[in-house]
Structure 1
């Protein structure tokens, strides 16, 4: 007689706080937690596992296997991450400006590329507020997205269709293909997007010149944009630790148009001077934007090596036609053509190795930019300009980290040699060309004391003027308002001391910065006609700023609340010919995010945002800005099919106001956006990974209860 004896051993731990010591010396263990409840007969054990951790450069947030993974696409994930704020220009990190994006350690130049990433494909999101020496010193904040590896072989694809309704209909169609073998991955992402956007502005402008000039007006802008894009890439695994690949991205603007309706009244010493009615249209003919990328990443003999090459080309031609009707002056018909051609070449290499118990990385970055910027018109009312801007940068860097008994130390320095050349009408202009050679040191010290993790850092950086800010082009807004750049602008230099950390479910941040040569919008009057205001830019000697933030984050059964409280306060006394303005009012920010896991396949998100009035540079933010957003996601058929319903700005309260102070002029702008909208997104995924293994034994069911 034969007997079969089977032993089933179930190991179960009962931690009050799950903790892990990370071997990567660049990370500190995260303490912010996600609840998980395990039930064994009549005993309920409640444990926690980290969803965020302090890193050497910022804070990393887990997405996989958290409520964030059910939020839809990457854009919805970012809206729920602490300290990230969505703006009309993209996403910014509170107090650190607009963020630069990296996906799997590769730079993303077009935010629309992020639409290809589903929330459940994301492993983690790292919010970097103190970028290391390996990054350009002009980058003040980075959002790094790491996706989960897909080892599945064969062909997979997913389709996504979105309809978005505000006052006009908007839609997006997307199809992604991927083919994997053991060594080779080929992917192709195709997307078509149609956007319609409305903006209303109320403008009041006062100039204290030879006469008291007041301009009061209102305008409506309606923009239409149709875009077709394609991303094709190949990744090849040479060996277990060596990869090579490339990517080609094509973005083609099928239609880019703007229609303007505006009216304004000008008074002189409170007496009527002129009334304007303006109708305008803008048509952009954008040649395809091309991005070529080739990379290598590998480990050879203990040396970690990386190399990236990017080449970007884009051309945009924009026709501007404005008809301006005046009740007391001559009518004007303004026709202008803006022709901009951009070329960018970037090469970055680095090599890392162990050194004296730590990790050292040495590298070099080279970048060359060429921009032709021509603004052609009749020259009757505003001047023409033909400009060429060239910039070349060499930037060697070294970064070293060392884990000791008293904490994790990081040291880095980057030297940037930049040569900027400005040409006008084909002639080199030496006084408007600048060359700089600067060192940018970085230092950080991170410690762990029980449940507390904290990191102290000092960093230096630079904010270079944009090419539009340096341009000589004079844009015609009306006969009483022009816009132009300032080729004499100097870069901003930033010194910042920061402290950040985690304690259980609380995250905190504090920083103090000094921005020298701060760039601000600045208006002045045309010498030959004081009624005309010219909006341009200038440098202020210094603007100092303090930032405080705290985040509370928990998961309580099916409900996961998250509360962010932040405050930005600057210290600025602005001297003008009108008076000295004390622009020290703090800006308060509140963000309350809630996720409700109704079932394993149905999750609801409700988010409220608030920003108080306050001061930023020479601008007073004059309105209380708040909004409420709703998001519900439901998946079907083993997560192959998902349906998402969103309502943005539920109460249509996302309206802002700005009061701009210049030398002898003030400008008050109230903006209203067509932001209240309903969207419906359908996503279908064909992937054998979506088939779940069905369990038939009681052991499998019990193990599932314990997981």
Structure 2
């Protein structure tokens, strides 16, 4: 689409939003927590006649705490009443169409005394996504936030990993603070969660690489003094793994000082059979590898910070986080056999050992404030420096009895400086969100050959990438009775310098200027809700994807980056419909220069090189239908879906179009104070990008959870893949090269999660990271 045409379309839609504000009288405002100044979503807002208090109109606040109500007469004829669970109700006379900020104070009545007499709707459509009201549903007794996420529509949970259907890996926000460590997802109690919003069409204030956002809001009593929690997660799957975290918070009036210490010791055993097939005009070569692998890491993460609330409208704070991966190690024992035209050509044994470590320092400072009725501001500043190093020793026992030694080393370092400002102005009965973001990144990667007694094709390298990013964004959100929508535009200017072995490479040193538009339109009816959205995004290669060296993985197997790798541009159209207990969602995406990592290529006539590559164009269609209900103590949740790619790649050209069908049956039983569940997930074979999943697969997980000591102690026991039926067989074919994987990943496991809290108080820290460049380091 040409830029001039795009500007005309956006300008006309913007004028449409503005002119519609002249129709009727609209009363707007924003509801916040008096003590934390955080927006309150799902608050009930009722417009009453000031004479006899009869009902005129009603609404609920959105994810930002904002609301709008239609009125036909002068505003002075009305009263406004705001109610929210756990807060004192607020009633006041309407003095103007824009009520500005309305503050609610926490109620002195405990949540135990609140009786819910009506069954509230758990899921509703809000601000480009689907929100789940956790407090007014049985999900609040699930155990942890991780357990809740596993029960929500369109979220696919694979043990400790999460994806949003049709959108990929999401970013998480807890109370408007970006989550950088999934330990937080594990340790938050479901009883403390107010709502979870799955945003499938993020606004322009989010980085252009973000396709999905999951926002979590918590509800907790505010307390003085020392509070904290102790969390432990333990998993056994032939090896014991543990994640532990201790958090403390000291609050004195408007000052919070907080800190935490996390420790992890994780193991990842794997048994793998890998077959590399190379086809030429005269021969077929099969390189079979049987590999027994033991990988593990240990790390510590101490964190300290503060938050100071100047008053209910202004606060600032800062935090420092230190990450030390004490040890990243692995041992791979491999037997390799080479057959050419079904005749044995070679066999050998290979022992691989690697050992490494990494460290990082991260600082975030922020300010957030409501400067006036027409302007609020949020500022974040980031600094991060990181370094890592690892060494690999490979001993190959050849067929003649000799030992071939190969020793390599890799180091990397990076620095990031970033800042972001977000401004919000209520205007024309809507909200205008605008701001800017800047960042400077330096990244260096070096690879060395320490010893080589005969392995060919290893290429050491030194790569430096310096990048500057400047971005600006603007979006306008407005409601028109049952209709609502927003329109936004993000501009990014990126300049980069690529240096290889001390020389600047002009072809890889590029400047990019891009416009990323987004449009969303929603309609809410008493019986159904629907939404249509469009978003243009970009996925940039990680810095490790751009390195130029070639790394020796094992005999006949190599890996490299690709300095010529281009960013992927994605245009997505998302349609969502909610009707009664059904939710339907479909996503269509068009990609330009899409890239996949680990694509096999022929190397040195008889070896495989895994390398990220671009291909011109592709499309993907995702369709899913979810049904959720409650029958007595049973809460069934059924979801079926399909994902189909439209991809052609390689020479000769191959198609990767076979769809994958998926189905899930989540069963939750609430028996008095116990939560018991059995979840069954399955999929068919088919193409996942360029990968082909060779066989259908299904798995069954069971869990039981309970809270003790008035909800302060939570215990959850989960058994994953109890019948050991997950099938990880897959293959990748490209240019007469085929790689087949038969993996045993030890997915059958038992997990125990325990969380203990005392004098719980809601963390007031509101800092976010200023740039998504952190993900590329």
Please tell me the TM-score bracket, short chain as reference. Answer: 0.7 to 0.9
Conservation of the 8 A alpha-carbon contact between 1:168 and 1:196: yes
Mean alpha-carbon deviation: is it higher for 240-249 or for 389-398? 240-249
Is 2:516 the partner of 1:431?
Answer: no
CA distance 1:62–1:23, shift in 2 (3 Å): closer
Conservation of the 8 A alpha-carbon contact between 2:120 and 2:136: no
Question: Shift in Å at residue 379 of structure 1?
Answer: 7.3
Q: Which residue of 2 aligns with 1:534?
A: 609
1:630 to 699, 702, 710: 702
CA distance 1:129–1:689, shift in 2 (3 Å): closer
CA distance in 2, matches of 1:328, 1:545: 51
Question: Shift in Å at residue 450 of structure 1?
Answer: 2.3
Conservation of the 8 A alpha-carbon contact between 2:406 and 2:451: no
Question: Shift in Å at residue 582 of structure 1?
Answer: 2.9
CA distance 1:357–1:683, shift in 2 (3 Å): closer
2:385 to 294, 313, 328: 313
Q: Which residue of 1 aligns with 2:333?
A: 261
CA distance in 2, matches of 1:685, 1:132: 35
CA distance 1:89–1:203, shift in 2 (3 Å): farther
CA distance in 1, matches of 2:125, 2:743: 38
Question: Shift in Å at residue 259 of structure 1?
Answer: 0.8
CA distance in 2, matches of 1:402, 1:512: 25
Conservation of the 8 A alpha-carbon contact between 1:647 and 1:679: yes
Is 2:622 the partner of 1:547?
Answer: yes
CA distance in 2, matches of 1:319, 1:297: 44
Which runs of structure 2 are paired with 1:55-70 in the superposition (5 Å)?
55-70=126-141
Is 2:309 the partner of 1:237?
Answer: yes
TM-score computed with the length of structure 1 as normaliser: 0.88
2:523 to 447, 462, 466: 447
Q: Which residue of 1 aligns with 2:688?
A: 616
Q: Which residue of 1 aligns with 2:563?
A: 487
Question: Shift in Å at residue 47 of structure 1?
Answer: 4.0
CA deviations on 1:236-272 (whole Å, 9 max, x unpaired) are 2111122212222222222221111111211223221
CA deviations on 1:426-445 (whole Å, 9 max, x unpaired) are 22111122221110110011
CA distance in 2, matches of 1:373, 1:394: 24
Which runs of structure 2 are paired with 1:256-655 in the superposition (5 Å)?
256-287=328-359, 289-302=360-373, 303-327=375-399, 331-378=403-450, 380=452, 381=456, 382-405=458-481, 407-520=483-596, 521-526=598-603, 529-577=604-652, 580-599=653-672, 601-655=673-727
CA distance in 2, matches of 1:523, 1:28: 51
CA distance in 1, matches of 2:407, 2:63: 60
Conservation of the 8 A alpha-carbon contact between 2:220 and 2:760: no
Q: Which residue of 2 aligns with 1:40?
A: none
CA distance in 1, matches of 2:233, 2:485: 47
Conservation of the 8 A alpha-carbon contact between 1:28 and 1:453: no
CA distance in 1, matches of 2:743, 2:368: 46
Q: Which residue of 2 aligns with 1:668?
A: 740
CA distance 1:231–1:80, shift in 2 (3 Å): farther
Question: Shift in Å at residue 172 of structure 1?
Answer: 3.2
Q: Which structure 1 residue ranges, 5 or more long, are not aligned?
A: 1-18, 30-44, 691-707
Question: Shift in Å at residue 626 of structure 1?
Answer: 1.9
Which runs of structure 2 are paired with 1:2-81 in the superposition (5 Å)?
21-24=59-62, 47-81=118-152
CA distance 1:247–1:262, shift in 2 (3 Å): same
Conservation of the 8 A alpha-carbon contact between 2:255 and 2:306: yes
CA distance in 1, matches of 2:632, 2:303: 41
CA distance in 2, matches of 1:616, 1:509: 19
Conservation of the 8 A alpha-carbon contact between 1:124 and 1:145: yes
Conservation of the 8 A alpha-carbon contact between 2:203 and 2:475: yes
SS at match of 2:507: helix
Question: Shift in Å at residue 374 of structure 1?
Answer: 0.8
CA distance in 2, matches of 1:573, 1:426: 37
CA deviations on 1:605-644 (whole Å, 9 max, x unpaired) are 2222212211123221212222211221122222233332
Q: Which residue of 2 aligns with 1:135?
A: 206
Question: Shift in Å at residue 478 of structure 1?
Answer: 2.1
Conservation of the 8 A alpha-carbon contact between 2:337 and 2:348: yes
Aligned residues: 651
Which runs of structure 2 are paired with 1:95-244 in the superposition (5 Å)?
95-209=166-280, 211-244=283-316
Question: Shift in Å at residue 680 of structure 1?
Answer: 2.5
CA distance in 1, matches of 2:255, 2:542: 40
CA distance in 2, matches of 1:406, 1:126: 20
Question: Shift in Å at residue 297 of structure 1?
Answer: 1.5
* Aligned-pair Cα RMSD in Å: 2.3
CA distance in 2, matches of 1:328, 1:478: 18
CA distance 1:167–1:295, shift in 2 (3 Å): same
Question: Shift in Å at residue 137 of structure 1?
Answer: 0.8
Question: Shift in Å at residue 471 of structure 1?
Answer: 1.2
Conservation of the 8 A alpha-carbon contact between 1:320 and 1:337: yes
Conservation of the 8 A alpha-carbon contact between 2:183 and 2:243: no
Conservation of the 8 A alpha-carbon contact between 2:459 and 2:551: no
Question: Shift in Å at residue 337 of structure 1?
Answer: 1.0
CA deviations on 1:83-134 (whole Å, 9 max, x unpaired) are 1223478321122112222222222233334344232222222212111111
Question: Shift in Å at residue 489 of structure 1?
Answer: 0.9
Conservation of the 8 A alpha-carbon contact between 1:264 and 1:277: yes
CA deviations on 1:10-53 (whole Å, 9 max, x unpaired) are xxxxxxxxx96224497999xxxxxxxxxxxxxxx984302222
Mean alpha-carbon deviation: is it higher for 337-346 or for 372-381? 372-381
CA distance 1:191–1:291, shift in 2 (3 Å): same
SS at match of 2:153: coil
Question: Shift in Å at residue 193 of structure 1?
Answer: 1.9
CA distance in 1, matches of 2:191, 2:160: 25
